[in-house]
Each structure stands twice: as C-alpha cells, then as structure tokens.
Homo-oligomer: A and B are copies of this chain.
C-alpha cells in the first residue's frame, strides 16, 4: 500500500487539503485504485508555508522517525509508516515580505526532498495571481486538483508523465502547449 502525505496551512484562504484528499479519492477510483488496499492518505495542518517543509519531511519519514509534534495520520493511528510522496499546499501573500517567505519555504522543501530522496509536490498559490477573489478561489481548487493527479501518476503511473514530456502542461491555468523544433 502506498501512502500520500498532505500538508496544508491555516494561513491559506482556501481549504487546499480537503480539495487534494477529495481529488485523490476520485481520481484513484477512476484509475482502479482502492483506498486502504492500494493507497492511504495522511494529512497535517500547520500555521504557514514556512512550517510545511519539516511537516512534509515528517510525513515522508513516518511517525517513528518524526520527533516533532503535530503529525497525525488521517486514520487517527498513533503511528504510521513514511509516505511515498507528499504535497505541500500553501498560499503566498501579495506583499514583498510574503514573497520572500515563499522563497524560503520552497528552498527548504527542495532540501527536504534531497534529504528523504522522495518527491514533494509544491502547490503554492500566489495571492496576486488572480484578479478577483472568485478567480483566486478557482485557482486554488484547480491547481490543487491537477497536482493531486500528478501525485497519483508519480506513484502509480509515471508513464503518464513521460507521455506528456515537453508538452507545456500547466496546473490551474490553461496549458501552454508544445513548440516545434524551429529553424
């Protein structure tokens, strides 16, 4: 059984964690995967994006390795094995200081990947990417769901990604599409 870890924040203005859990359940079903038999999901919520890297690391290494507080499995079990992949779900505010925070969190997520040798899909929505609150809400939902599918593909069907190599895929907004080799 594969485990997918999901970490999100109280800072974000959208419940990204629930969207990810919902999409993984739906898409997993379409791929013929059963929760419990084929995959499990662990979720943890932290205050802000800077708390995500160590939270993801602890999800990936599992409870036995986790020496920090606050990691709980969805099933409420006291301990869980490490996840095979994690999603780091967060929002980056519009102020300059927020952008620096986003950069610091991303840098640390990168390090957590190298230290665990596992993938963490960073799903960050920037508050200033959308023009209206409605569009922002839409973006939160779409990006999270498209990356949830990526997470499933990386664990169960990496050939789905190989098939799309260099095709300009985007998460949230419209895909950019491929270019010809040119001159």
Interface residues of A (CB under 8 A from B): 2, 8-19, 43-47, 50-51, 53-55, 57-58, 61, 65-72, 84-85, 97, 99-119, 121-122, 126, 129, 133-141, 147, 150, 154-155, 158-159, 161-162, 164-171, 176-183
| A-B residue pairs in contact (CB < 8 Å), sample of 11 | A10-B165, A10-B166, A11-B169, A13-B179, A45-B162, A51-B119, A70-B119, A101-B106, A104-B107, A134-B182, A138-B183
B17 near A166: Cβ-Cβ < 8 Å: yes
Q: Residues of B contacting A103 with CB < 8 Å?
A: 100, 104
Copy number of this protein in the oligomer?
Answer: 5
B165 near A67: Cβ-Cβ < 8 Å: no
Given known contacts A69-B158, A182-B141, A183-B138, A12 and B168 CB-to-CB distance under 8 angstroms: yes
Q: Residues of B contacting A44 with CB < 8 Å?
A: 158, 162
Extra contacts, 13 of them, besides A11-B169, A53-B113, A107-B110 (Cβ < 8 A), are A13-B179, A45-B164, A53-B110, A68-B119, A69-B85, A103-B104, A107-B108, A110-B111, A114-B115, A133-B182, A134-B183, A135-B182, A138-B181
A12 to B, closest residue via Cβ: B166
Q: Residues of B contacting A18 with CB < 8 Å?
A: 165-166
